[in-house]
Homo-oligomer: A and B are copies of this chain.
Amino acid sequence: MAMEERVDTNKGQMKIGFIGLGIMGSRMAANLQQAGYELIIYNRTAAKAEELVKKGARLAKSPLEVSQKSEVIITMMENPQAVEAVANGENGFLNLSGANRLWIDCSTVNPSFVNMMAKKALTKGFRFLDAPVAGSKAPAASGDLVFLVGGDERDLKEVQPLFDIMGKKTIRVGEHGKGASMKIVVNMMMAQAMVAFSEGTSLGKSMGISEQALMDVVLNIPVSAPFLSAIRPRMENRDFTPNFPLKLIRKDLQMVSETAYENGVSMPSANLAKDIYTRAMSDGLGDQDFSSLFGYLNK
């Protein structure tokens, strides 16, 4: 591919399409806008686009309009069904031929789905990067996300300036699908660390140790994942406003479960974690932060 075919990330000239304006997407898009990029945005619930529109973003009537009017399309959807809908559904943005657009999917979706999407994109003349993120609401807002990218190295290089605005680090894991693959491993680790910590504190408290003493020790010894320290104040205050909703980590664990099944890998501990979050969800915690599991097991 000749360089002149590549998109130009020079801010003055480049238009970025952004689809999916939830907790994460709205903040990522705002950072791009803030940095001077012109945005064409789409969201199923148009109300969520208001803030960006006020500051100059153009609201598209359909995903297709987004790809018609932008060189790079970024999607940040909740699940494979939603990605499928905006990409391949009626007026999906892939219904545009010969345009050499670059689609960056930042959604956390399962690797086999990503591989399928990558194929469809290439067939339609789109280039593709899977670029799920490590990090939740706060780093999305401050531009401190970590991107785990799968796809062509040159494609990544081309849009690196965008990743640099939205995040603090971009790691190319490998070819198409490898970003998504790495992402579910990362989220599985996070999910399990929360389970272990929640069980551990419940045991500790049953032995008469205070919650504060437990946190003082356990979170300051290298046996605990550092993200737990970061959210300690919220756990202590039982403030479970969603940064990363519990139902979404459960979704990720289901992807882990399906991928493990497809690949013949035995993962009893990850699967058990899924069932623990499922129980919490059936008790009404699905829309709270996933750290509400801590509160759930430490009443």
Binding site for B on A (CB under 8 A): 111, 134, 146, 148, 171, 173-174, 177-178, 181-182, 184-190, 192-193, 195-197, 199-204, 206-209, 213-214, 216-218, 221-227, 230, 254, 256-261, 263-276, 278-279, 281-282
Flag if B263 contacts A186 (CB, 8 Å). Answer: no
Task: Tell me the complex Cα distance, A173–B221, Å.
Answer: 14
Q: Which residue of the partner chain B has the closest CB to A188? A: B200
Task: Tell me the complex Cα distance, A224–B225, Å.
Answer: 5
Task: Tell me the complex Cα distance, A272–B269, Å.
Answer: 7
Q: Which residue of the partner chain B has the closest CB to A227? A: B222
Flag if A259 contacts B189 (CB, 8 Å). Answer: no
8 of the cross-chain contacts (CB-CB < 8 Å) are: A178-B208, A182-B213, A182-B214, A185-B209, A189-B224, A223-B225, A223-B227, A272-B272
Task: Tell me the complex Cα distance, A204–B260, Å.
Answer: 9
Which secondary structure dominates where chain A touches chain B?
A: helix
Q: Which residue of the partner chain B has the closest CB to A182? A: B217
Report chain B residues within 8 Å CB of A265. 199, 202-203, 206, 278, 282
Q: A203-B260, A208-B178, A260-B206 are in contact. Are A186 and B217 (CB under 8 A)?
A: yes
Report chain B residues within 8 Å CB of A190. 223
Report chain B residues within 8 Å CB of A282. 264-266
Q: Which single member of B181, B226, B257 contacts A207 (CB below 8 Å)?
A: B181
Flag if B204 contacts A181 (CB, 8 Å). Answer: yes
Flag if A225 contacts B227 (CB, 8 Å). Answer: no
Task: Tell me the complex Cα distance, A269–B191, Å.
Answer: 12
For A202, A217, A276, the residue with the greatest tally of chain B CB atoms inside 10 Å of its CB is A217
Flag if B206 contacts A196 (CB, 8 Å). Answer: no
In the complex, what's the smallest C-beta–C-beta distance from A13 to chain B, in angstroms? 33
Task: Tell me the complex Cα distance, A270–B146, Å.
Answer: 30
Flag if B270 contacts A196 (CB, 8 Å). Answer: yes
Report chain B residues within 8 Å CB of A208. 174, 178, 181
